[in-house]
Structure formats: C-alpha cells, structure tokens
Amino acid sequence: MTAPASKSPTKSAVAASSKRIRAEALSLDELIAAVSHEGAGAVATFLGVVRDTNDGKAVTLLEYEVFESMAERELAAILEEVAAELPGVRVAATHRVGTLRVGDAAVACAASAPHRDEAFRACRELIDRIKARLPIWKREHGPEGPYWVGWEDARCSPGHSHRH
C-alpha cells in the first residue's frame, strides 16, 4: 500500500530572504519559520559556529571577507539546485561575514520536507555546497597572528609554512 501524496508547499521551495549574506547575527528561528509549512513533517537545521581551535592551533576570532553580489547570486543558485533535486523540500540559508568571535554562528541552513530523510539530505547538501562554492574567505586569528585559511602563495614551494 502506498502512502497518500503529501500536501505540496504553498510557498516557493526556496524561502525568500532579502539578505542571505550579512554582518548581523544569524537566526535559526528565522530560517525555521521560512521553511515551515503544513505539509512538512520534518525540519532539519545546521548551525556552523566559530570554534576555539583549527588544525591544532588556537583561534581567538575569525574574519570573513566576501564578494557580496557574487555570493548572494551563488547562494541563491545553490538553494534553487537543492530544491529542484529533492522534490518536496523547502530550503533557506544565511552566512555571516565580518568579525566573529568564538561561539558566534557563521552559517545557518534549514530544510523542511514531508519526511526526515529528505530534510536531512537537503540540509547536508546545502552546507556542503555552501562550503565548496561561496566566494567567502576566512582569516583566523590566534596567538601566532592572523592567517588566511586555505590560502597558498604560488611563490612558495609545496609544504612551505606561510608563517612569514
């Protein structure tokens, strides 16, 4: 016996947001409200926060730099893709930029679906694609000074430490 078709969402599968890339604090409640609807039996969320270490080094704060117009467009494209690939889901995400302290929320994602599997899958797809594709750069600060994460100077030999 097959289950009855779920009630489809009345709003767009991508929750509207005027500012997805922003310096202001992020709110999971805002995203949950944006993706919730009567046909959603599950809402999955992800909240990425600034931690106090990375690769064994102490972190005191992060700075996120952004190519804002490109990041807004790319995040909108990611949201549209995930919604199209996983029918029945509704998605939303925001990313913070500027200076963040340990414990601050840096990225937030939410996905709703009729069932938990689709909601979890959509939320995981969102964060994985955001991390891989958004033109946002992270500069970590710690006792050894600031350094860009993932940055390699083409002038240096492989394996060279960038602690100049």
User: What is the domain-level CATH number for residue 138?
Assistant: 3.90.1170.40
Predicted local distance difference test score (pLDDT) of residue 18? 55
Q: Is residue 32 part of a domain?
A: no
133/60 Cα distance (integer angstroms): 25
Q: What is the mean pLDDT of residues 78-98?
A: 96
* Helical H segments across 36-154, by residue range: 68-85, 116-133
The band of 163, judged by pLDDT with boundaries at 50, 70 and 90, is low
Q: Is residue 14 part of a domain?
A: no
Q: Is residue 35 part of a domain?
A: no
Q: Is residue 161 part of a domain?
A: no
28/30 Cα distance (integer angstroms): 5
* pLDDT at 2 exceeding the cut of 60: no
How many domains is the chain built from? 1
Between the CA of residue 163 and those of 100, 151, 153, what are the distances in Å? Answer: 22, 12, 11
Q: Is residue 7 part of a domain?
A: no
* pLDDT at 114 exceeding the cut of 50: yes
* pLDDT at 16 exceeding the cut of 80: no
The model carries a pTM of 0.83
Q: Is residue 77 part of a domain?
A: yes
Residue ranges making up the domain that contains 94: 43-145
Predicted local distance difference test score (pLDDT) of residue 17? 57
The band of 161, judged by pLDDT with boundaries at 50, 70 and 90, is low
**Tokens at 25, concatenated:** 């604090």
Q: Is residue 5 part of a domain?
A: no
Q: Is residue 23 part of a domain?
A: no
